[in-house]
Amino acid sequence: MSITSTVGEFLVLFGTIFYFLSTLGLIRMPDVYNRMQTATKSATLGSLGVIVGVGIWAIGHVGSYSWVTKTIIIAVFLLLTNPISAHALIRAAYKSGIPLWEGSVVDKYKEALEREEGEQ
């Protein structure tokens, strides 16, 4: 067993732990906005850990660098699309009137909308 295989397996374990934390966040958070924030960040880190881990593992176990290229492309795509899709979902939830949790003390989006209306 080589060092790269061990590092790859560690990163897959790291990603799996973040998937577990994402699941806990979905269960424990009080509203859709907190759940989306928790799920997006944890799932992104979890996916990156697993994807990069598989790429590094493939170098040590299979000896193939083509896996690394593919996993880097997938990781970049994931880094670009995950935050954008989460932002779109949260914005749609806000515009459709889903209320914030009572314990939320800051509503930056509402403040931005009020500023825009005041400028017009």
The 8-class DSSP code of residue 65 comes to S
Using a pLDDT cut of 90, give the percent of the chain over it.
34
What is the amino acid identity at position 76? V
User: pTM to 2 decimals?
Assistant: 0.78
Please report the pLDDT score of residue 117 as a whole number.
80
Which one-letter amino acid corresponds to residue 26?
L
Cα 97-92-109 angle, rounded to 5 deg: 75
User: Where do the structural domains in the chain lie, given as residue ranges?
Assistant: 3-119
Residues 16-73: pLDDT tens digits? Answer: 999 998 888 889 988 888 888 888 888 889 999 999 999 999 888 787 788 888 999 9
Express each pLDDT in 106-120 by its tens digit.
Answer: 888 888 888 888 777
